[in-house]
Amino acid sequence: MDGAGLPETRSTCPYCGVGCGVLLRADGQGGLHVRGDPDHPANKGRLCSKGLALGETVGTGGRLLSPHVNGRETGWDTALQTVADRFSDTIRKHGPDSVAFYVSGQMLTEDYYVANKLMKGFIGSANIDTNSRLCMASTVAGHRRAFGTDTVPGTYEDLEEADLVVLVGSNLAWCHPVLYQRLAAEKEKRPGLKVVVIDPRRTATCDLADLHLQLRGGTDVALFNGLLRAIHEGGAVDKAYMAHVDGFDAALCAASDDCLDETGLDRRDIRAFFDLFLRTDRTVTVFSQGVNQSASGADKVNAILNCHLVTGRIGLPGMGPFSVTGQPNAMGGREVGGLANMLACHLDIENADHRQAVRNFWDAPAIADHAGLKAVDMFRAVGRGQIKALWIIHTNPAVTMPDADAVRDAIRGCDFTVVSDITGATDTARLAHVLLPAAAWGEKDGTVTNSDRTISRQRAAMPPPGQSRPDWQILAEVGRRMGWHKAFDYENPAEIFREHAALSHIAGQFGLDFDISALSDLSDPGYDDLAPARWPLTRTRQGGRFFADGRFYTPNGKAQMLALHYRPPTERSGPRFPFRLNTGRVRDQWHTMTRTALSPRLSAHLAEPFLEIHRDDAARTGLGPASLVQVTSPVGSAILRTLITDRVRPGEVFAPMHWTSDTAPSARIDAVVPDVVDPVSGQPDSKAAGVALTPFRADWYGFAVSSAPMTPAADYWALARTPGGWRLELAALGTPSDWERYARDLFNCPDATLQMVQDAGRGMARLAFHRGDRLLGALFVAREPVAVMRDHLVTLPGTDVQCVLTGQSPADRPDPGPIVCSCFGVGVNTLLAAIEAQAMTSVGQIGAALQAGTNCGSCRPELTALLARARIQEAAE
């Protein structure tokens, strides 16, 4: 039964900040059908690979189904009372600043609002910070310095209305795929729309670029300072608009140092970019983590804002700086005041009138009167024992905070830690004294705000399993049990949303931008039916853009250009750590993979953690293709698979952030990243660790497939889902004396039938275990990285295949190669063969022949790259 005929629920995708609308239909058996909502303004029916695979991630296997206290299952009453008592006791003994919440830009606005109210108004501390500190803090700081408030001026439509889109430190094709597709579709229609990508790596996004500026990591301020000078010298300053802007002379003076050589770019490319920028009024500059996650993140943001202010290109159709948010509710979190240095509704914690107004509105016994600890400082305070009770909600800091081993140790050493998650199997959840089961995305109601200020509803399509509950309910109940019954007496999320909207009216009266007071008397059914709407939402104003009118939220009402001095990336660690480690995301995984790794389709794209390294550096370091590399920094080390490429600059390497103790314990990359932060925003520099690289010379390498979970024992392993089970890469020092025993332990199959070939002299062993006709698992071992047809082997567990030990596919079933199109499971070998045989020249032809790229479109940049590769090969032949 596929649930056809059952009603569809309109909701929002829980992943990136594009905030696509989805239509969900539960099949009544725990499954969920997902399609894009044609009526949602963000995606108009489109979805990327991650959105489309949501149905594969909602099963209850692996879910945390009941509260646990000190490792023992309990009921809610015990768990909640334990949390409330410990927090109350700690506050009584050590004061409100001895406790902290670490929360997430993936929480719904209603969850976030309750957490912020509890901490700032009732506990009376501002020690609530969020993973948005690792994500958006530099933009928040940059916006506030320039505009006096944290506002994204433009809308998604601007990308389609622009004549030039500059993407700075953004891999839009993989990280905001539907927005990328909107841009790609527009460029196809209107090739005059130019795209410039500014990124030290050649990413999938570069397939759309007319110009790729592959600058040296960390040098963006030098480039945009240069642009500011060129704007001035080229006579492109908008003199009329400058009446609304302060700080031009100082900004220009600071920019007068010519540091363009620092960028490592060819002057002609720089000139081409500057010329394009100068002559194109309709310019949008999109920026993301290559800008924010930097020791000069806030300065990078302001360097970009300077160039838009001085040209008056802001808040008009097709013009403006555009920070794309990462998480689904990064924007909502900023609205409710989830950061330790904000109050609520964009009100200021430093402003006594703002504080009093919020306190009165909440009828609160206290109000935090100074900023709380920002994420990095917060975990350092936990480590020192200064924070004695910590509640972590909807985030996995033991993996994603810089200096992650120190963070893990700090949490482990904390007197009292509460973790709310949907699974107990995370690096952070394992450290909790109290573990609380949260309802997941498909099961709960609330709102989120996407990158272009559009508020959308998330709606439940299925019941929460076991005892799990929505985060707002858990937080409100703890608030009541701590003695604040009336303030946290919420019955449903609608009530919380109305209160939030009413508080925004006060912000509006203070003259602030975030005002959604038109929604403050929404009825419950009105909330249920709420259609996507862009703020501000007041009786007189709905949506639109900001700042074209020259009205800003600074004390004198003018925008501020900032005087920015380019600071060379500091020599972090000296000659012992000569490589610059850049980190980020891959197309089909979401952060620490607790949801996306459940999907075999998504796991097929990149099944293993890797280090992108330039071929000259690889040769110099003694790293061969597919060898393993040890990455060491002053704070930690990791082992990753080498991926030799010319996509990165010499001297710079790149690793993904996704792998964890559960998927590849040696590849928790944040264990290597030191906790250097931007002095203005407190945001960690996640993209510039100084590292040393050495080959990891394992004594043996292995590859295994299995229909049941495996328990690997090896120095390096990486586990991924497949349609019929799991696949595993292995490597270790010290060869086991008995491969049969090793493999039986790995597959947990003491009595299955074994087939085995072994050549001890060559260090080769191949073992297959059957039960009856069915293959349980197979292990291939060699002294070098194992060469077998992985994408064929992963299809075999659970089938009645007999002959697997060759590791090759039979002639009538060619190996498809690593999957490129995850919707239709089309591999790279299949694609290259078809391109060659049928002399294909376009993504459209590939689609017509193989379907690849015709559904979600997330792989289209990779298909373009394959076509180019085939062309180059042909030319060479």
Ligand X SMILES: Nc1nc2c(c(=O)[nH]1)N[C@H]1C(S)=C(S)[C@@H](COP(=O)(O)OP(=O)(O)OC[C@H]3O[C@@H](n4cnc5c(=O)[nH]c(N)nc54)[C@H](O)[C@@H]3O)O[C@H]1N2
Can you tell me the distance from the alpha carbon of 518 to that of 391, in angstroms, rounded to the nearest whole number? 33
> What one-letter code names the amino acid at 446?
G
Interaction partner, residue 47 (ligand SF4, Mo ion, ligand X, none; CB < 5-8 Å by kind) = ligand SF4
Give 104 or 822: the residue with its C-beta nearer to ligand X.
Answer: 104
Residue 740: CB minimum distance to ligand X, A = 37
Residue 103: CB minimum distance to Mo ion, A = 13
Q: Quick one: three-class SS letters along 7-60?
A: CCEEEECCCCCCCCEEEEEECCCCCEEEEECCCCCCCCCCCCHHHHCHHHHCCC
Q: Strand ranges (DSSP E) for 422-558? A: 434-437, 446-449, 454-458, 533-534
Interaction partner, residue 19 (ligand X, Mo ion, ligand SF4, none; CB < 5-8 Å by kind) = ligand SF4
Give 266 or 353: the residue with its C-beta nearer to ligand X.
Answer: 266
Give 177 or 665: the residue with its C-beta nearer to ligand SF4.
Answer: 177
**Paired sense of beta strands 819-821 and 826-827, if any:** antiparallel
> For the residues of 233-256, what is the DSSP string, one character each?
HTT---TTGGGGEE-HHHHHHHTT
Residue 529: CB minimum distance to ligand SF4, A = 22
Interaction partner, residue 175 (ligand X, Mo ion, ligand SF4, none; CB < 5-8 Å by kind) = ligand X
Backbone φ and ψ for 821, nearest 5 degrees, come out as: -95, 110
Q: Which of residues 761-780 bind Mo ion (CB under 5 A)?
A: none
Contact 299, 293 (CB under 8 A): no
Interaction partner, residue 55 (ligand SF4, Mo ion, ligand X, none; CB < 5-8 Å by kind) = none
Interaction partner, residue 329 (ligand SF4, ligand X, Mo ion, none; CB < 5-8 Å by kind) = none
Count of Cβ atoms closer than 10 Å to residue 873 Cβ: 12
Which range touches Mo ion (CB under 5 A), out of 31-39, 127-135, 144-152, 600-608?
127-135
Residue 173-192 contact track with Mo ion, rule CB under 5 A, x = bound: --------------------
Residue 844: CB minimum distance to ligand X, A = 25
Give 423 or 504: the residue with its C-beta nearer to ligand X.
Answer: 423
Interaction partner, residue 332 (Mo ion, ligand X, ligand SF4, none; CB < 5-8 Å by kind) = none
With H, G, I as helix, E, B as strand and everything else as coil, classify residue 376: helix
Alpha helices (H) in 607-722, listed in sequence order: 615-621
Residue 629: CB minimum distance to ligand X, A = 17
Residue 584: CB minimum distance to ligand X, A = 2
Can you tell me the distance from the alpha carbon of 415 to that of 407, in angstroms, rounded to the nearest whole number? 14
Can you tell me the distance from the alpha carbon of 656 to that of 666, in angstroms, rounded to the nearest whole number? 13
Give 316 or 425: the residue with its C-beta nearer to ligand X.
Answer: 425
Can you tell me the distance from the alpha carbon of 141 to that of 682, in angstroms, rounded to the nearest whole number? 9
Contact 488, 468 (CB under 8 A): no
With H, G, I as helix, E, B as strand and everything else as coil, classify residue 781: strand
Measured from each CB, the residue nearest to Mo ion is: 326
Give me the residues that bind ligand X (CB under 6 A), please.
Answer: 16, 104, 106, 131, 134-135, 168-171, 174-175, 198-201, 203, 217-218, 220, 288-290, 293-294, 326-327, 393-397, 400, 420-423, 426, 438, 440-441, 471, 582-585, 587, 589-592, 594, 657, 669-670, 673, 686-687
Interaction partner, residue 396 (Mo ion, ligand X, ligand SF4, none; CB < 5-8 Å by kind) = ligand X
Residue 391: CB minimum distance to Mo ion, A = 21
Give 276 or 764: the residue with its C-beta nearer to ligand X.
Answer: 276
Nearest to 278 by CA among 306, 246, 242, 237: 237
> Could you tell me which residues are beta bridge partners of residue 781?
702, 765
Can you tell me the distance from the alpha carbon of 381 to that of 403, in angstroms, rounded to the nearest whole number? 14
Measured from each CB, the residue nearest to ligand SF4 is: 51
The tokens for 784 are 């070098």
Helix (H) or strand (E) holding 130: strand 128-130
Peptide bond into 536 cis (omega under 30): yes
Interaction partner, residue 20 (Mo ion, ligand X, ligand SF4, none; CB < 5-8 Å by kind) = ligand SF4
Give 244 or 444: the residue with its C-beta nearer to ligand X.
Answer: 444
Give 587 or 614: the residue with its C-beta nearer to ligand X.
Answer: 587
Can you tell me the distance from the alpha carbon of 289 to that of 330, in angstroms, rounded to the nearest whole number? 13
DSSP symbol at 423: -
The tokens for 705 are 């497939």
Residue 576: CB minimum distance to ligand SF4, A = 39
Give 309 or 376: the residue with its C-beta nearer to ligand X.
Answer: 376
Can you tell me the distance from the alpha carbon of 743 to that of 578, in angstroms, rounded to the nearest whole number? 39
Give 441 or 553: the residue with its C-beta nearer to Mo ion.
Answer: 441
Residue 733: CB minimum distance to ligand X, A = 27
Interaction partner, residue 599 (ligand SF4, Mo ion, ligand X, none; CB < 5-8 Å by kind) = none
Residue 428: CB minimum distance to ligand X, A = 7
Interaction partner, residue 582 (Mo ion, ligand X, ligand SF4, none; CB < 5-8 Å by kind) = ligand X
Residue 14: CB minimum distance to ligand SF4, A = 7
Interaction partner, residue 155 (ligand SF4, Mo ion, ligand X, none; CB < 5-8 Å by kind) = none
Give 326 or 600: the residue with its C-beta nearer to Mo ion.
Answer: 326
Helix (H) or strand (E) holding 506: helix 493-509
Verify binding: residue 135, Mo ion, rule CB under 5 A: yes
> Could you tell me which residues are beta bridge partners of residue 100?
390
Residue 330: CB minimum distance to Mo ion, A = 7
Give me the residues that bind ligand SF4 (CB under 6 A), please.
Answer: 13, 15-16, 18-20, 43, 47-48, 50-51, 176-178
How much is the CA Rg of the chain, to the nearest whole Å?
27
Burial annotation 160-184 (CB, 10 A radius, 16+ → b, else e):
bbbbbbbbbbbbbbbbbbbbbbbbb
Interaction partner, residue 686 (ligand SF4, ligand X, Mo ion, none; CB < 5-8 Å by kind) = ligand X
Interaction partner, residue 133 (ligand X, ligand SF4, Mo ion, none; CB < 5-8 Å by kind) = none
Contact 683, 133 (CB under 8 A): yes
Which range touches Mo ion (CB under 5 A), out of 133-141, 436-444, 480-488, 834-842?
133-141
Interaction partner, residue 315 (ligand SF4, ligand X, Mo ion, none; CB < 5-8 Å by kind) = none
Give 290 or 665: the residue with its C-beta nearer to ligand X.
Answer: 290
Residue 109: CB minimum distance to ligand X, A = 13
Give 131 or 517: the residue with its C-beta nearer to ligand X.
Answer: 131
Q: Which of residues 322-341 bind Mo ion (CB under 5 A)?
A: 326
With H, G, I as helix, E, B as strand and everything else as coil, classify residue 191: coil
CA-based torsion, 273, 141, 589, 692: positive or negative: positive
DSSP symbol at 366: -
Interaction partner, residue 18 (ligand SF4, ligand X, Mo ion, none; CB < 5-8 Å by kind) = ligand SF4
Residue 279: CB minimum distance to ligand X, A = 22
Give 50 or 605: the residue with its C-beta nearer to ligand SF4.
Answer: 50
Residue 46: CB minimum distance to ligand SF4, A = 7
DSSP symbol at 537: B
Can you tell me the distance from the alpha carbon of 522 to that of 792, in angstroms, rounded to the nearest whole number? 55
Residue 178: CB minimum distance to ligand SF4, A = 4
Cα diameter, the chain: 83
With H, G, I as helix, E, B as strand and everything else as coil, classify residue 400: helix
Contact 291, 168 (CB under 8 A): yes
Residue positions counted in the chain: 877
Contact 230, 303 (CB under 8 A): no
Give 16 or 788: the residue with its C-beta nearer to ligand SF4.
Answer: 16
Residues lying near Mo ion in the complex (CB under 5 A) are found at: 135, 326
